[in-house]
Homo-oligomer: A and B are copies of this chain.
Amino acid sequence: MAERQLSRHARSSHGVIDGETSDAIWDVIARVDSGELATAAVLLHNLHPADQADTLALLNGVERRRLLDRIDSHTLAELLPFLTPEELEHVAPDVALPQLTAALDQTTAQLGADVLHVLPEGDVELVLDQLPKAGLVEPLLAHDDESAGGIMAPELMVLGPHLSAEQALTMLRAAAIPTVRDTVYIVDTEGVLLGSIGLHSIVFAPPLTALRDMMEPIGPTVTTDMDQEEALLILQRFGLHSLPVLDDEQRLVGVATADDLLEIAQQEATEDMYRLVGLVDDQALTAPVVTALRRRIPWLLLNLSTAFAAAAVVAAFESTLARVAALAIFLPIIAGQGGNAGMQVTTLAVRAMALGEFDRHFTRLVLPRELMIGIVSGLSFGLLVGAVGWLWQDNPWLGVAVGVAMLGTMITAGLFGLLIPTVLRKVGADPALAASIFVTTATDMLGFLFFLGLAALLIERIA
């Protein structure tokens, strides 16, 4: 074990970066492909659990089941934590139930709940019947898996307030190994949280000091039904390592840790980035083509219908364009500049919301500021583009039309860039949800309307 870990370190701490580990993964996959299952199993066993997990995730169902038959429940227990939620969905149902049950008995209750969440209902019952730690796992299943109750670790060090430091250590020695190992939680006889003490402090306190005299008061806590994103915001806002999770009666039922929430922070950031460009559900570049098409096409269809709306504005001015075809040249400039400026503001707003920095004071402060930025940048770009329009087409009135339209478009970009995520959030939708589609539609339609409308008014001077 020691040697395997050392060699893994020497390789993997680089492998992550330069792809050496990934060569080893592809080697195992090649062996499975060519039917050399015994060799594949040995090679797999030499990998770090993180790499073993990657290997299983990259195999197809049939190959994976063949390889899974050759690995023991301990190896399985070690690699399960390294599967992403989406990978777990594909891999877990491929494991034989007795093997899976034996593996789950060697993992945390948190992971047990994650696995059971992706199994068919009948299988969940079968596993829980045989699982010694079912009592710890079952309560987690009752909570939404994106709530604090769904992600918390229930294995804690919990003691009463009247014990001495010495008694506390004796009792902890007899207890099972907890997930959170640096903090002891103090509860009353009902299980209501009273405070906490670092294990460090108990170890180094005078042996007869009572825990109640050493404990730190309760800081921020969360409830089981709180959304995991809110829990993350609280943890970050108050710079904590972990957050106690309480039930409706203030009883301590688990702890959400910085580790768990780091993973969630990454997921949320990924989700926001994806949603901004109209990518929803789990997305990965490695997803099968059909899955990728099914997930991307609906939003591209929405985008297409909004593009037709912008096209309709252009169509309304077809007779103007028929007189001065050169007007069409400026459409991509107005659309491109407005869309980009709008997306900048939307991205800033969506991220500020995700990081918990966006409240009503914020809107009051930011809206006039974005209006000002829109006016100043609109004037600058309007003058520039207007001058180019004049000189390029040798017509000052065309310059006026494109310049004024640019000013209007930049103001539109600032206001709609801010308002669209705000409105999406107000109506209870995700503020990032396809925001790019809505923002660019607004800037395209209004930008074209400003430009072609002005050109139509000035047509006698431009033509």
Contact = CB atoms under 8 A, between A and B. Distances in A.
Nearest to A323: B325
Contacts of A436: 340, 343
Contact of A16 (B169, B270, B356): B356
A188 B282 CA distance: 47
B311 A332 contact: yes
A167 interface: no
Contacts of A385: 304
B219 A9 contact: yes
> How many identical subunits does the complex contain?
2
A278 B342 CA distance: 11
B285 A314 contact: no
A437 interface: yes
A358 to B, nearest CB: 8
A444 B336 contact: yes
A373 B292 CA distance: 8
Interface residues of A, number: 131
Contact of A13 (B220, B276, B381, B440): B220
Contacts of A241: 259
B19 A355 contact: no
A384 interface: yes
Contacts of A296: 341, 344, 373, 377
B9 A218 contact: yes
B376 A289 contact: yes
B361 A332 contact: no
Interface stretch (A63-71, A94-102, A231-239): A231-239
A221 interface: yes
Interface in A325-358: 325-333, 335-337, 339-341, 343-345, 347-352, 355-356
A57 B296 CA distance: 42
A329 B336 contact: no
A228 interface: no
A311 B333 contact: yes
A306 B339 CA distance: 13
A328 to B, nearest CB: 4
A92 to B, nearest CB: 17
A265 interface: yes
Contacts of A262: 236, 258, 261-262, 265
Interface of A: 1-2, 5-6, 9, 12-13, 16-19, 22, 26, 48, 50, 81-82, 169, 172-173, 177, 181-182, 198-200, 203-204, 217-222, 230, 233-234, 236-239, 241, 258-259, 261-263, 265-266, 269-270, 272-274, 276-279, 283-286, 289, 292-293, 296-297, 299-300, 303-304, 306-308, 310-311, 314-315, 318-319, 321-322, 325-333, 335-337, 339-341, 343-345, 347-352, 355-356, 359-362, 365-366, 369-370, 372-373, 376-377, 380-381, 384-385, 388, 418, 436-437, 440, 444, 448
8 contacts: A258-B262, A265-B266, A277-B343, A293-B373, A300-B340, A308-B388, A311-B329, A328-B331
